[in-house]
Amino acid sequence: MNYDGLLIIFAREPVPGRVKTRLAKDIGNDAAAELYDLMLRHVIKNAVSSRYDIELWKTSESSGSYFAELIPGAFIRDQSEGNIGERMSGAFRSGFAGGYRKICIIGTDCPDASSNDIIEAFYLLENNGLVLGPSFDGGYYLIGLSKFYSGLFEGISWSTASVFPETVEKARFLDIGFVSLCAKVDIDDMTGLREYILKNPGTELAAAFENVLRKSGHEKGD
């Protein structure tokens, strides 16, 4: 084990109708689930390349065997009950209780977050209590801590455009030194998907996205 750093991936099994519901309104449940699966595999690939210890925290209804095949050797855990803030708080608490010095949590909505971004986040935690990777929709695609702060996740308007600014405000209130990574696009809807494809022409993932869209009758996100 590398007690210097733990990378936690928050994910769910790509079951049609349970993932990417906003995208599904435009391209259908099956295509949305296929896109989510592609994003999940891409995030896992980048996570493994970062060479930190990895835990995958899945939603309770997701199959552990599915994730075990995707990322052999990683600890697979169930997320706790509650809102996303309560679930992240529980994961951080568990990681620090296990002896890790620095912990980052990433989701699966931002394939633009590279292994270098992950490595940079851990590096920045050497001199900061909090690292955030903001997304353009007002949330964040990565959060890292160098110690557990019990109040950081309280009183945040989760799943809104104010998550990032409210978290920054809370960090200042708690006197937590923080730094931000570069802002990136989350893929939650057709706008985000289209933007990713346009920004990453010719890449393997963008080509795979376009293939899914063609099969669903939505060429290039039109």
Q: What angle do CA 50, 182, 159 make, to 5 degrees?
A: 95
**Taking a C-beta distance cutoff of 8 angstroms, is the pair 213, 27 a contact?**
yes
Q: Over 60: is that where the pLDDT of 220 sits?
A: no
Highest mean pLDDT: which range of 37-41, 58-62, 212-216: 37-41
Q: What is the pTM of this model?
A: 0.95
pLDDT score of 4 = 87
pLDDT in tens, 25-56: 999 999 999 999 999 999 999 999 998 999 99
Please, which residues have CB within 8 angstroms of residue 25's CB and are 6 or more apart in sequence?
none
Query: How do 178-180 and 130-134 pair as beta strands?
Result: parallel
Is CATH 3.90.550.10 the classification given to domain 5-217?
A: yes
Residue 135 DSSP symbol: B
pLDDT in tens, 120-149: 999 999 999 999 999 999 999 999 999 999
Look up residue 196 and give its two tokens: 């990713």
Q: Over 60: is that where the pLDDT of 207 sits?
A: yes
Domain boundaries, the chain: 5-217
Distance CA 137, CA 199 (A): 17
Helix, strand, coil percent content, the chain, rounded in steps of 5: 45, 15, 40
Query: How do 140-145 and 53-58 pair as beta strands?
Result: unpaired
Please count the CA atoms within 13 angstroms of the CA of 104 that sit on its side-chain side. Answer: 31
Q: How far is CA 147 from CA 19, 85, 95, in A?
A: 31, 16, 10
User: Quick one: which H or E segment has residue 47?
Assistant: helix 29-50
